[in-house]
Amino acid sequence: MAQHFSLAACDVVGFDLDHTLCRYNLPESAPLIYNSFAQFLVKEKGYDKELLTVTPEDWDFCCKGLVLDLEDGTFIKLADNGTVLRASHGTKMMTPEAVAEAYGKKEWKHFMLDTGMPCRSGKYYFYDNYFDLPGALLCARVVDSLTKNSGQKTFDFWKDIVAGIQHNFKMSAFKENCGLYFPEIKRDPGKYLHSCPESVRKWLRQLKNAGKILLLITSSHSDYCKLLCKYILGDDFADLFDIVITNALKPGFFSHFPSQRPFCTLENDKEQETLPSLDKPGWYSQGNAVHLYELLKKMTGKPEPKVVYFGDSMHSDVFPARHYSNWETVLILEELRGEEGQKPEESEPLEKRGKYERPKAKPLNTLSNKWGSFFIDSISGQENTADSMVHTWSSKRISTYSTIAIPSIEAIAELPLDYKFTRFSSNNSKTAGYYPLVH
């Protein structure tokens, strides 16, 4: 495989929407997601009211790449070989000695060597994106509460979390103003969303003018997708994309057979008839990558058009697009933003801000003191030895399944389309595919 990757060589450029084209204001969106679940648990399921109170310090618990063991309420961080680097019971971090005693140097019990370990299982849950992370904090605090109040050792709260997801995020929730999340985003989108800078809009038009086919593939339903796109790109956003696919139900969009997941037409945000195949560009719901690729062959006149897909989730976007469809993949990884990710107005002195403004939650894309780096960590109990640093399981998946990883689309929007990115590959260093390069 070539050592470099260039957008100029691609025929089709596809995008996920949430946390990819649409960046959220994380210090505002995270508490909203947290509260949408916490209020449901307290009001509908009788959980302790203390779940409703979150301090700015509590957010330090959030870190992408954690796995929750649903049976015993333990969160763990895995090394690239499947051993446990750090662990907590609820929000209470375990000492290195306790981690060594509980897990030793063996692979974690549910670990599979293939780095495509599924995220969804009845036994564990893998936290891999910013919609997930507030739920990690909530689940950890539920474990604390149940342990303290009833001495529980095993847990079955997950069914209530799933009911909370259904209540707040079911397909009809946006239209029905159900739950806390959608009504609040509708009320004040500017509080929660960053509109795309002009450089990104220009870049999208530049891709289109260069003859690229542009796709938008999102698991959000069409009504929410329209609200986001109008806010971030403007009323004429649909002109930028040749094909828009909403309610795509990723990763199933890539992994399911066409017969399991046909495309549907849409009318007034309602799914209509199912289609035996995809014949022309347009706006569709659900669907599958196989039928989409057949249409892309027709549209490009090429037997094997080259597709690149941008997404923020390893589980829903990057792993399935590479593994099942063999697409090039660009991972949006806000953890690469670092301090320069702050907007100038966010760094103004406190005394200049509103007198009554509450302290902001720590942005989720900053380093967690409890969990350490998303990318590398030291083997528990060997902190001071020269060879104790190892790559995390999350960073191994990134270098295995991503073509490149970038902090945001904005970070590459002003580069020429034929810019040659160094790709991740077994011949290059493990950090080669990060842009800008991680040292």
Any idea what the CATH number is for the domain that residue 289 is in?
3.40.50.1000
Question: Which structural domain, as residue segments, surrounds residue 268?
Answer: 4-23+194-335
Question: For residue 208, is it within any domain?
Answer: yes
316, 368, 371, 374 from 380: Cα distances, Å: 30, 17, 12, 15
- Taking the C-alpha atoms of residue 331 and residue 20, their distance in angstroms, rounded to an integer, is 9
22 closest CA partner among 436, 311, 322? 311
Is 159 found in the same domain as 50? yes
- Taking the C-alpha atoms of residue 104 and residue 98, their distance in angstroms, rounded to an integer, is 9
Considering 187, 209, 225, which residue would you say is the last residue of a domain?
187
175, 182, 269, 316, 412 from 172: Cα distances, Å: 5, 10, 10, 22, 36
Is 327 found in the same domain as 221? yes
Contacts of 343 (CB under 8 A, 6+ apart): none
Active-site residue, selected from the candidate residues 18, 60, 132, 223 = 18
Is 85 found in the same domain as 18? no
Q: Is 18 a catalytic residue?
A: yes
Q: Is 16 a catalytic residue?
A: yes
Question: For residue 323, is it within any domain?
Answer: yes
- Taking the C-alpha atoms of residue 202 and residue 208, their distance in angstroms, rounded to an integer, is 10
Q: State the sign of the Cα–Cα–Cα–Cα dihedral 94, 118, 110, 424.
A: negative
Is 133 found in the same domain as 213? no
pLDDT of residue 345: 33
Helices 26-45 and 158-169: angle between axes, nearest 10 degrees: 120
Is 330 found in the same domain as 269? yes
Give the helix ranges, DSSP H, for 276-413. Answer: 289-300, 319-323, 393-401
Is 175 found in the same domain as 38? yes
**Omega of the bond leading into 407 within 30 degrees of 0 (cis):** no
Is 200 found in the same domain as 132? no
- Taking the C-alpha atoms of residue 315 and residue 118, their distance in angstroms, rounded to an integer, is 8
Is 231 found in the same domain as 152? no
Considering 162, 187, 212, which residue would you say is the last residue of a domain?
187
pTM listed for this prediction: 0.92
pLDDT of residue 356: 39
Considering 155, 171, 187, which residue would you say is the last residue of a domain?
187
Residue located via tokens 């564990």:
124
Q: What is the mean pLDDT of each run of 10 residues along the chain (439 residues)?
A: 90 98 95 96 96 94 94 94 94 95 90 60 88 96 91 86 93 92 97 97 98 98 97 96 97 94 94 94 97 98 98 95 97 78 36 43 79 87 66 92 96 97 87 82
pLDDT of residue 354: 40
Is 180 found in the same domain as 74? yes
Domain count, the chain: 2
Is 55 found in the same domain as 182? yes
DSSP state of 396: H
Active-site residue, selected from the candidate residues 16, 80, 144, 269 = 16
- Taking the C-alpha atoms of residue 349 and residue 109, their distance in angstroms, rounded to an integer, is 48
318 closest CA partner among 332, 304, 331? 331
Is 274 found in the same domain as 137? no
29 closest CA partner among 364, 371, 417? 364
> Per the structure block, which two tokens stand in for 208?
């289109």
Half-sphere exposure of 402 (CA within 13 A, CB side): 29
pLDDT of residue 367: 84
Is 55 found in the same domain as 162? yes
pLDDT of residue 97: 93
